[in-house]
A and B are shown apart, each in its own frame.
Chain A
Amino acid sequence: MPLNWKTGGLLLGLVFFAAVLLVKPIGVSTQFVILDGIVADAVSPNLVTQTDDGYTSTNAYLAKSNGKYAKAVSNPLNYSFVFVVAMMVGGFLSALARGGLSAPERIMPALWRVNFGDNQMKRYVATFFGGFVVLYGARLAGGCTSGHMMSGMMQTALSGYIFAAGAFAAAVPVSLMLFKKEA
């Protein structure tokens, strides 16, 4: 069972506050680009190159903002990338502490099973496609649920409100359409 919303929300708020107090607001989706860049640069080493005053790339997206992303690709041991790796450690430890997930739940969530049956391929195709659309959308928007919605709205950023309006305008109708039965 998840934490009571008051305890959970308070803890989550404290983490977002700690991040902005000590370093900078939390964000995640950029690191998908950085990992892509790391892999692509390993395959074709000329993708990211060092210049006199920093880094640049043959890919226009990695090269934008004075090579900010190109620099991160060249130095994976940076705050934002390590942060996402650490999130996985935190998730793993938390799951371990609550006794781990049941075998059926590891394959697919209960609500999906109730609505779409237990065909694994169907679930995996849906999550793969979902992941593609989520990250394409997050990069077009310039951030995701963490960076735009939570960190953004917390800072009263106009962009955070625009993002949240778009995300919920699509997410609620799609979810209502897809998940008619309750788990």
Chain B
Amino acid sequence: MTVILLAIVIGVAFGAVLDRVGASNPSYINAMLNLTNLNLAKSILLAIGVGSVLMFGGQMLGFVDVGHMSVKTAYAGVFLGGLLLGAGWALSGFCPGTGVVAAATGRKDALFFIAGGLLGAAAYMVTYPSWEASGMLDKIAGGKVTLGTIPGAKYDGLTAISGDILGLVLGLGFIAVAFALPERFVGSPAQAQPAE
């Protein structure tokens, strides 16, 4: 039962924060993806960095259970699936988590996204055997691997580098990139255009 209580507390917090960083708004998602407003990218990079530093720091100090890590398998389909997800993400402005949150904030178009998503997931369930047979799901580079070797983890390291120190360094790197990234890459703000 405790675990259900945690699901509610962390889930509510995650949904609320996704909404407050602007991730539930497709205009804000696409302003990131078309490189005109990178504030959301800065939030995401900072979040990955903060999460990483706290997790690896906590593991090194011993108060975060290394057994809580859950590393997914690497295979060619991860890249192909990423491409598909990316295209649909840009078109709709939603990804699975933010689409669900957006629907809850009152966005009607997000309901159509969820309906399409349920059909897409069902289509994958039906076509899964052919993907399996294609070899696209065969693990690459060891499958469930982390970039370094993390002491006490059930996952292998891609390299022999100390995984928790690498995690801290990369986490700090994400934070640095979040600060270094400009607010926009493409074009100039509308108000800066010279008058005709």
Among B50, B72, B90, B108, which residue has its beta carbon within 8 angstroms of that of A174?
Answer: B90
Which residues of the other chain, A, contact B4 by a CB distance below 8 angstroms? 77, 79, 82
Indicate with 1 or 0, residue by residue over A132-157, a CB within 8 angstroms of chain B CB atoms.
Answer: 11111111111111111011111111
Known: A20-B64, A129-B91. A90 touches B15 (CB 8 A): yes
B125 near A87 with CB under 8 A, answer: no
Q: Quick one: closest A residue to B103, CB to CB?
A: A88
The secondary-structure label for the interface of chain B is helix
State whether the Cβ of B190 lies closer than 8 Å to any Cβ in chain A.
yes
Give residues of chain A (94-123) contacting chain B, Cβ–Cβ below 8 Å.
94-95, 98, 100-101, 105-112, 123
A interface bracket (residues with beta carbon within 8 Å of B) = 35 or more
User: Are A25 and B103 interface neighbours, CB within 8 A?
Assistant: no
Given contacts A83-B7, A137-B88, A139-B121, contact A94 B19 (CB under 8 A): yes
Residues of chain B contacted by A172 (CB below 8 angstroms): 33-35, 86, 90
B54-89, CB under 8 A of A: which get 1 and which 0? 110010000011001111111101111111111111
Report the nearest B residue to A125, measured CB to CB.
Answer: B112
Establish whether residues A148 and B82, one from each chain, have CB atoms under 8 Å apart when the complex forms: yes
Query: Is B176 in contact with chain A by the CB < 8 A criterion?
Result: no
* Contact (Cβ within 8 A) A131 B20: no
List B100-157 residues whose CB lies under 8 Å from chain A. Answer: 100-110, 112-126, 128-129, 131-132, 136, 141-142, 144-148, 150
Q: Bound state CA distance, A95 and B17, in angstroms?
A: 11
Count contacts on B: residues with CB < 8 A to the other chain.
129
A interface secondary structure, majority: helix
- Nearest residue, chain B, Cβ from A4: B39
Q: Using known A-B contacts A9-B50, A135-B120, A150-B44, determine if residue A128 contacts B36 with beta carbons closer than 8 Å.
A: no
Contact of A135 among B6, B24, B121 (CB under 8 A): B121
**A136 touching B17 by the CB < 8 A rule?**
no
| Most central of B7, B121, B141 by chain A CB within 10 Å | B121
**B94–A134 contact, CB under 8 A?**
yes
Residue numbers in B under 8 Å from A91 (CB-CB): 15-16, 18-19, 24, 100-105
User: In the assembled complex, how far is the CB of residue B101 from the closest CB belonging to chain A, in whole angstroms?
Assistant: 4
Interchain residue pairs with CB less than 8 A apart (11): A9-B42, A12-B43, A22-B10, A59-B128, A79-B7, A90-B14, A140-B84, A142-B77, A155-B71, A162-B78, A179-B34
